[in-house]
Structure 1
Amino acid sequence: MIYPIIPYGDPVLRKVAKDIEPSSIDLITLADDMFETMYAASGVGLAAPQIGKDIRLFVVDGRPMNEGEEEEDIDTSLIDFKKVFVNPTIIDETGEEWGFEEGCLSIPGIRGEVWRPEYVKIHYYTEHWEEKEEVFEGLAARIIQHEYDHIEGILFTDHLNVVKKRLIKNKLTDITRGKVSVDYKMKFPR
């Protein structure tokens, strides 16, 4: 099932999401639906708040970022990087901060350079309730940090510098009013 994406301006994107209790929802079906929704929108990550659910869940698949790249330009952190994160907690973010132009399915048409640490150590459960603790680096770490921000009520635009925030203010207002053209389903408030 493909869910509509919740746009910038919806209060669910600013809530700190709640932990999921085991057996409270069908995680496998929801994760599959989230992957289907993410792929339909050509995304590499999707957090539950972006489909209107204030729960601590996100899915990632960074493999498409390597498609079409020359051998020497392939980001090895993205090889086999398709995962479901349930009730994640970032334990540590380390390494040198580096800038990368990010975008978001909930904020279409806007991109901006965000600086994030190179490594992230995260504790989480899989959709099968297997407990994990792993360290990710590079683009994989960035995708996780971006999606983790979503379940904390933080958007990538919050990380932009003051000048960039001023430049995109009108575009953000347009998104909240539904004045945006996308090739995937979105759910705007009436």
Structure 2
Amino acid sequence: MIYPIVLYGDPVLRKKGENLEKDEIDVKQLAEDMFETMYQANGVGLAAPQIGKSIRMFVVDGDPMEEPETEQFKRVFINPEILEEEGDEWGFDEGCLSIPGVREEVFRTERIRIRYFDENWEEHEETLEGVAARIVQHEYDHIEGVLFTDHLAPLKKRLLKSKLTNISKGKVDAEYRVRVPQAKR
């Protein structure tokens, strides 16, 4: 099932996601639906808040990035916890399916250590570097209620204000189904 992508301005994108309990929901089906939604939108990562679910789960598939560390980097992250971030911060042009048409340079650490459960509820702990670490940090931010635009300098944020306002009103050109934030009553 392909979900519509929640656009910037929806409150679900600002909520910290809730941990999942084993057998609470069908995580295998949800992961399959999230991958299908992500591929249809040409993304490399998708967090549950981006489909309107305030839970601590995201999926990634870094193959389209064509970087050595993202080859065969397809994972489901449930209840992840970043244990350590290390190395120098480096800039990379990031975008987000919830903020279509906006790309900006974001600085993140080059290496992370993360613990998570996969779709079979098997626990993993691994160290990721480079673009793989960046993809995970971006998606992890989503389940913490943080967007990549929060990492930008105040001037950059001011310059993007009208674009972000338009996105929140549904004035956006996306090649995938979107869910426009509810109008304030």
Q: Does 1:64 align with 2:64?
A: yes
Q: Shift of the alpha carbon at 1:153?
A: 0.1
Distance 1:80 1:182 in 2: 27
Which whole-Å CA distance do the structure 2 matches of 1:24 and 1:97 have between them? Answer: 37
* Mapping of residues 119-134 of structure 1, within 5 Å: 119-134=111-126
CA drift of 1:79 comes to 1.2
Please give the alpha-carbon distance, in whole angstroms, between the structure 2 residues aligned to 1:175 and 1:182: 10
SS at match of 1:119: strand
2:19 aligned residue: 19
Q: CA deviation at 1:108?
A: 0.4
Q: Is 1:105 paired with 2:100? A: no
- For 1:40, the aligned partner's letter is Q
1:30 is matched with 30
Q: Given the alignment of the two structures, is residue 159 of structure 1 paired with residue 151 of structure 2, yes or no?
A: yes
Identify the residue that residue 137 of structure 2 maps to in structure 1: 145
1:71 is matched with: none
Cα displacement (A) at 1:65: 1.0
- What are the superposed Cα offsets for residues 93-150 of structure 1, whole Å, 9 maximum, x if unpaired? 0011100010000000111110000001000000000000000000000000000000
Q: Distance in 2 between matches of 1:96 and 1:177?
A: 37
Q: Match for 1:113: what amino acid? A: E
Q: What TM-score, normalized to structure 1?
A: 0.95
Q: Which runs of 5+ in 1 are unaligned?
A: 67-74
- In the TM superposition, residue 157 of structure 1 has moved relative to its aligned partner by 0.1
> Distance in 2 between the 1:76 and 1:177 partners?
38
Residue 120 of structure 1 aligns to a residue whose secondary structure is strand
Match among 158, 166, 177 for residue 174 of structure 1: 166
Q: Output the amino acid matched with 2:22.
A: P
| Aligned residue pairs, count | 182
Aligned to 1:43: 43
Residue 92 of structure 1 aligns to a residue whose secondary structure is strand
Partner of residue 135 from structure 1, selected from 115, 127, 132: 127
Instruction: Give the Cα separation in 2 of the matches to 1:137 and 1:171.
Output: 32
% same residue:
63
| Separation (CA, whole Å) in 2 of partners of 1:159 and 1:144 | 15
Q: Which runs of 5+ in 2 are unaligned?
A: none
Take 2:174 and 2:97, find their aligned partners in 1: how far apart are those partners? 9
Task: Give the secondary structure class of the aligned counterpart of 2:178.
Answer: coil
Q: 1:76, CA displacement in angstroms?
A: 1.5
Partner residue in 2 for 1:70: none
| TM-score with structure 2 setting the length | 0.97
Amino acid at match of 2:101: G
Could you tell me how far 1:162 is from its partner in structure 2? 1.4
